[in-house]
Amino acid sequence: MNILVCISHVPDTTSKINFTDNNTAFDSNGIQFVINPYDEFGLTKALMLKEANGGTVTVLNVGPASTEPTIRKALAIGADNAIRVNAEATDAYFVASQIAKVVKENNYDLVICGQESIDYNGGQVAGMVAALCEMPFVNVCIGLDVDGSNATVLREIDGGKEELKASLPMVVGGKKGLVEEKDLRIPNMRGIMMARQKPLQVVEPADAEQRTAAVSYEKPAAKAAVKMIDKDNVEELVQLLHTEAKAI
C-alpha cells in the first residue's frame, strides 16, 4: 500500500515566539524547526502499515529549501522517499491545492495528515485536500486499521470515541493514539546516513490562489509575577483570591 504523509515544518514546541514587521510576520530568527508533532504520529503509523502490508511511504512538504532538514529527518525515521513543493506555505487553500495535485498525479491508497499544525493551528489543510481529491476524510483520528481497501478509523469525540468505516483511498487527520508516544521512532545513525541517499524530489508549485491573508499577530498578555504571601497571613490570601484572582 502506498501512503503519503504530509508533514508540516513547525517551530520546536519550546521556541520563544516573536513577530517582526510591525507584528505582521513571524520572526524565524534563532528558531529550531521540527516535524509537526501530530505528523510524527502519522508517519510512525504509516511505517507500521507499510511493514504489515508492504508498499511505500512518501513524505510531502510544501515549503522552501529551508524545510529540507525536517524532510530529511522524516526520511531518517524511515520514509522511503520525499517530495518538496517549492513554495512558501502562505495559506491553507494554497497548501492543500499543492498537496491535492501531488495526490492526483500519484496512486496513494492513504493520505495521512496531522489534525492541525502547531504553528498556525489552521486545522484546514487535510479537509481541503480530501475535498479537492473527492476522497473520504476523517479528522482527529486516534486509531486506524486497514484491511484490503477498507479502513476502520477510531476518532476522538467529546467525552468518548467514535468508530467509522471508509473505503480507500482516503485522507486521515491524525493525532496521538494513531500510535502511542512510546512507539514514536527516533532516527538512528544508520537511518541518518541512509536518509542522505533517499530520493527527495523538488517540484514547482501549481497555480493556486491564496484565499486568506494574515493582517497581524498578537502574543498573549505576559503573565503577572508570582505573589508570595506569608503563611500566617490567610486574610490577605483570601482577599487576593477574591479581588485579584477572582477565584472565590
Minimum distance from residue 5 beta carbon to ligand FAD (Å): 7
Q: How many alpha carbons lie under 13 Å from residue 25 in its C-beta half-sphere?
A: 6
Instruction: Please list the residues that pair with 35 across neighbouring strands.
Output: 9
**Residues 103, 110, 125, 144: which binds ligand FAD (CB under 6 A)?**
125
* Residue 172 or 248 with smaller CB distance to ligand FAD: 172
Minimum distance from residue 203 beta carbon to ligand FAD (Å): 13
Minimum distance from residue 234 beta carbon to ligand FAD (Å): 47
**Interface residues for ligand FAD in 39-98 (CB under 6 A)?**
39, 60-63, 88-92, 95
CA-CA distance, 76 to 73, in Å (whole number)?
5
- Binding mask of the shown chain, residues 102 to 121, with x at each position contacting ligand FAD by CB under 6 A: -----------xx-xx--xx
- Using the rule CB under 6 A, is 170 a contact of ligand FAD? no
Minimum distance from residue 27 beta carbon to ligand FAD (Å): 11
**Interface residues for ligand FAD in 200-219 (CB under 6 A)?**
212-214
* Residue 83 or 151 with smaller CB distance to ligand FAD: 83
Residue 71's nearest CA partner among 100, 119, 98, 34 is: 34
Give the residues lining the site for ligand FAD (CB under 6 A).
Answer: 6-8, 36, 38-39, 60-63, 88-92, 95, 113-114, 116-117, 120-126, 212-214
